[in-house]
């Protein structure tokens, strides 16, 4: 289906479908207001409790104190078991063209409609207080407030998962969470219990490749893909079903940071991803994704060499292309983090007519788990009445009462059928918009078993690894070497090496070398040690076919969008005596391209350019760090250059930027600053345009040429090929 052009700035939302207006009734603004209790009584003194004399005991009758302290004592709710640390934003979604041939979901059938959304991004393993830059899967959950009720597309930034059956989910999370005896390590999978579990669960092999790849270290939430993970159904008005996989494709491309860089960012700014999303929206640089779908007709359900209901498998885009059917734009930050981001309740079971489930055993388990989670976390069955969770359409049913009930239901009846109230609220026919589950024929015996079509655990893990560029493969090897290097039990390391050998012997050999171990000889059928030998159930012996597809370009980040510098953060290093004309020319061009530019100087206050102009820096070297920026520019000016050359923090800033493969530009006068760096002696003696775009470093006295080339370099994101042959201490 052809993609239609959409305006960058979304049209005003329709009044009756505007979640912002729906929330307005619940918004409180204290500007210019008088202080009151929770029950509206004006407070005369909020600085002193009521006492028996000015040095006497506090009196129990102080209802203002009791209300304030009691509310404070109960302010915190249980954090999410997983996805505890998150960040969110409001936005809108518009479909490009009518999809009614595939689904009767109204929000996907009207290109003129604008559907409000609320999107929450998150890490998975860490607590609320952990860092944004942990090596982890990222949650990508979208709540669509449609005219048929809420639809929640609850996914991740990786299209597969560790397990095939939801019954293993508690085990997975128990294994990856901090170890129960000492509550360490936080937000990290590099420890014994996780790899002990994973090494005995070959079905996790594919997901491990993703989790150890650069996908686990996104540059920002705005630059990562999202996936529905499971196979769902589209059902049209005639009841015809097609299988569907959901994708979110970021218009800024898919980009990552380096592992060493991620660790540094965690120390410098653990809120890096949260801040990035918030600042981009506040600046009007609204993040955008296109919604893509892979459609598989029911007749083709079994035509693949893998099972499309297996959540540890993808449908390669070479086999079923992704059709981009609409665009989501995030254009407003929450007004209150707790009320919106923390209290939003997503549920994979929140679907609308035209979207339905499949028999994916992981999906089926999630249908139970989400409601159960919200009951404990949000205090009871009325979590749907919290403003951020309310649909934009009226809610009518016979469910009543419970903790924190907010709806005041009129009438005598709360049951059905009823004659007293004329059967109200009444059921709705499918033709009038009522939800009807897909009429799938089921003829089977009850059994605790797994389909043999789920037994291939390695071919897609191999496909993922083979599809990576050389730098991306090196990052996976380094990640596995680091993670397994933190494992204390040698037998766990060896068992994991045997699993890796099933994926790629070269990969296993590289990791084994880093661990100082040999790859053990473990038979394929013996890998799944978690199944007791005397288990009275189906054989779960792993299979490892070669697979028909050797490589999939969509699995590598190399081919992602690299034609924009929008929202990239650029550091300009300057001191007294800087060439203000060069600085201004480059800065103006960068800003025109949509970049964010910060001038960094040895100190805050003002610097005086060589033309005696006053320039106010944004940061000093004390508060800034190269890991927080995407590229660096050093303008000329003799005094500025001399100061920076003698400034150890400036030299370190450049060395670290080079180490992390970022674009670096310098005026020809600034060459002496670069000569002070460790990496300068690693660079080629002679430069051409091709050399510059390969190495990512340009030095030029032609400001116009430097500017255009620098912008081109920033758009390329990183120069990963620089990593191994140009390794430097920083």
**Residue-wise pLDDT tens digits, 384-398:** 999 999 999 999 999
Average pLDDT over residues 43-69: 92
Structure tokens at 103: 């689904």
DSSP state at residue 41: P
What is the end-to-end Cα distance of the chain in Å, rounded? 49
Judged against a pLDDT cut of 80, whether residue 263 lies above it is answered with yes
CA distance 331 to 116: 10
Residue 455's contacts (CB-CB under 8 Å, 6 or more residues apart) are 540, 541, 542, 543
Judged against a pLDDT cut of 50, whether residue 443 lies above it is answered with yes
CA distance 248 to 474: 27
CA distance 33 to 218: 43
Average pLDDT over residues 547-558: 95
CB 680 within 8 A of CB 654: no
Instruction: Count Cβ atoms below 10 Å from residue 531 Cβ, excluding itself.
Output: 14
Helix/strand/coil for 394: coil
State which CATH number among 3.30.70.20, 2.40.180.10, 3.30.43.10, 2.30.42.10 fits the domain covering 86-389. Answer: 2.40.180.10
Chain-centroid distance, C-alpha 537 = 38
Lowest mean pLDDT among 273-282, 516-525, 596-605: 516-525
Give the per-residue pLDDT at 529: 56
Helix/strand/coil for 250: strand
Sequence-ordered strand ranges (E) for 313-407: 323-332, 355-356
Intervals of CATH 3.40.50.880 along the chain: 569-722
Give the per-residue pLDDT at 537: 46
CA distance 643 to 601: 10
CA distance 651 to 649: 5
pLDDT tens track for 244-261: 999 999 999 999 999 999
CB 312 within 8 A of CB 204: yes
Give the per-residue pLDDT at 726: 65
503 to each of 166, 179, 209, 216, 558, how far by Cα in Å?
24, 28, 9, 19, 22
Give the per-residue pLDDT at 1: 45
Give the per-residue pLDDT at 685: 72
Q: Which residues of 9-34 are buried (b: 16+ CB within 10 A; e: fewer)?
A: ebeebeeebbbeebbeeeeeeeeeee
Report the chain's C-alpha Rg in angstroms. 29
Give the per-residue pLDDT at 667: 95
Q: What is the pTM of this model?
A: 0.93
Judged against a pLDDT cut of 60, whether residue 128 lies above it is answered with yes
Average pLDDT over residues 612-632: 97
CATH 3.40.50.880 fits 569-722, yes or no: yes
Mean residue pLDDT across the chain: 93
Judged against a pLDDT cut of 90, whether residue 312 lies above it is answered with yes
- The verdict on whether omega for the bond into residue 185 sits within 30 degrees of 0, i.e. cis, is yes
Lowest mean pLDDT among 377-386, 448-457, 529-538: 529-538
**CA atoms 127, 133, 135, 138: torsion sign:** positive
Average pLDDT over residues 280-306: 97
Active-site residues, by number, are 83, 156
pLDDT tens track for 14-48: 444 588 888 988 988 889 999 999 999 999 999 99
Structure tokens at 133: 């830059």
Lowest mean pLDDT among 85-99, 212-226, 427-441, 500-514: 427-441
CA distance 697 to 657: 11
Judged against a pLDDT cut of 60, whether residue 5 lies above it is answered with no
CA distance 238 to 241: 9
Give the per-residue pLDDT at 502: 96
Structure tokens at 437: 């589950």
pLDDT band at 125; cut points 50, 70, 90: very high
DSSP state at residue 487: -
Sequence-ordered strand ranges (E) for 166-287: 226-227, 232-235, 241-250
Give the per-residue pLDDT at 534: 52
Intervals of CATH 2.40.180.10 along the chain: 86-389
Give the per-residue pLDDT at 216: 98
């Amino acid at each position: 289906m052809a993609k239609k052009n959409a305006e960058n700035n979304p049209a005003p939302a329709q009044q009756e479908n505007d979640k912002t207006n729906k929330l307005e009734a619940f918004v409180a603004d204290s500007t210019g207001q008088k202080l009151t209790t929770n029950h509206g009584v004006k407070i005369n003194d909020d600085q002193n409790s009521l006492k028996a004399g000015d040095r006497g005991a506090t009196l129990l009758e102080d209802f203002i104190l009791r209300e304030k302290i009691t509310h404070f004592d109960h302010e915190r709710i249980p954090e999410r078991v997983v996805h505890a640390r998150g960040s969110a934003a409001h936005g809108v979604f518009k479909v490009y063209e009518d999809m009614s041939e595939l689904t009767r979901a109204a929000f996907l059938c009207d290109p003129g409609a604008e559907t409000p959304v609320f999107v929450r991004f998150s890490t998975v393993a860490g607590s609320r207080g952990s860092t944004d830059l942990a090596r982890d899967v990222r949650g990508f959950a979208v709540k669509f407030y449609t005219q048929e009720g809420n639809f929640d597309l609850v996914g991740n930034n990786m299209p597969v998962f560790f397990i095939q059956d939801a019954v293993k989910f508690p085990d997975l999370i128990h294994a990856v969470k901090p170890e129960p005896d000492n509550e360490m390590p936080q937000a990290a999978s590099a420890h014994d219990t996780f790899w002990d579990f994973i090494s005995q669960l070959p079905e996790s092999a594919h997901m491990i490749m993703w989790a150890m790849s650069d996908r686990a270290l996104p540059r920002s939430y705005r630059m990562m893909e999202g996936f529905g993970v499971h196979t769902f159904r589209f059902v049209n008005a005639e009841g015809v079903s097609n299988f569907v996989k959901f994708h979110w494709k970021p218009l800024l491309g898919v980009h990552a940071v380096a592992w060493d860089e991620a660790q540094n960012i965690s120390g410098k700014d653990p809120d890096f991803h949260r801040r990035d999303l918030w600042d981009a929206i506040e600046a009007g640089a609204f993040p955008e994704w296109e919604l893509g779908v892979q459609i598989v007709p029911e007749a083709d359900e079994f035509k693949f060499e893998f099972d499309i209901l297996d959540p540890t498998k993808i449908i390669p885009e070479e086999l079923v292309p992704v059709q981009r059917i609409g665009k989501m734009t995030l254009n407003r930050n929450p007004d209150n983090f707790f009320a919106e981001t923390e209290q939003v309740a997503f549920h994979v079971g929140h679907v609308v007519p035209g979207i339905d489930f499949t028999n994916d055993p992981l999906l089926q388990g999630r249908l139970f788990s989400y409601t159960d989670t919200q009951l404990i976390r949000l205090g009871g069955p009325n979590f749907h009445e919290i403003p951020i969770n309310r649909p934009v359409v009226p809610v009518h049913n016979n469910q009543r009462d419970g903790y924190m009930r907010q709806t005041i239901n009129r009438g005598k009846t709360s049951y059905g059928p009823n004659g007293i109230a004329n059967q109200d609220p009444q059921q709705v026919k499918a033709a009038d918009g009522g939800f009807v589950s897909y009429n799938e024929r089921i003829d089977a015996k009850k059994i605790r078993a797994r389909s043999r079509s789920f037994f291939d655990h390695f071919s897609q893990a191999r496909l993922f690894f083979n599809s990576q560029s050389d730098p991306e493969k090196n990052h996976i090897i380094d990640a596995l070497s680091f993670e397994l290097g933190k494992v204390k039990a040698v037998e766990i390391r060896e068992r994991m090496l045997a699993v890796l050998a099933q994926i790629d012997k070269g990969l296993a050999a590289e990791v084994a070398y880093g661990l100082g171990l040999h790859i053990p000889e473990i038979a394929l059928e013996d890998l799944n040690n978690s199944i007791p030998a005397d288990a009275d159930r189906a054989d779960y012996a792993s299979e490892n076919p070669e697979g028909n597809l050797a490589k999939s370009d969509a699995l590598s980040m190399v081919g992602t969008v690299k034609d924009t510098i929008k929202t990239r953060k650029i550091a300009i290093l300057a001191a007294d005596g800087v060439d203000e004309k060069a600085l201004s020319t480059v800065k103006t061009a960068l800003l025109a391209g949509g970049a964010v530019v910060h001038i960094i100087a040895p100190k805050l206050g003002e610097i005086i350019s060589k033309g005696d102009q006053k320039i106010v820096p944004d940061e000093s070297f004390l508060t800034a760090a190269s890991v927080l920026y995407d590229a660096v520019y050093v303008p000329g000016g003799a005094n500025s250059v001399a100061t920076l050359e003698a400034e150890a923090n400036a030299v370190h800033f450049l060395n670290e930027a080079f180490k992390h493969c970022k674009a670096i530009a310098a005026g020809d006068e600034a060459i002496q600053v670069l000569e002070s760096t460790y990496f300068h002696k690693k660079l080629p003696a002679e430069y051409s345009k091709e050399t510059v775009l390969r190495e990512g470093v340009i030095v030029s006295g032609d400001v116009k040429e430097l500017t255009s080339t620098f912008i081109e370099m920033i758009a390329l994101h990183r120069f990963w090929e620089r990593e191994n042959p140009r390794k430097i201490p920083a």
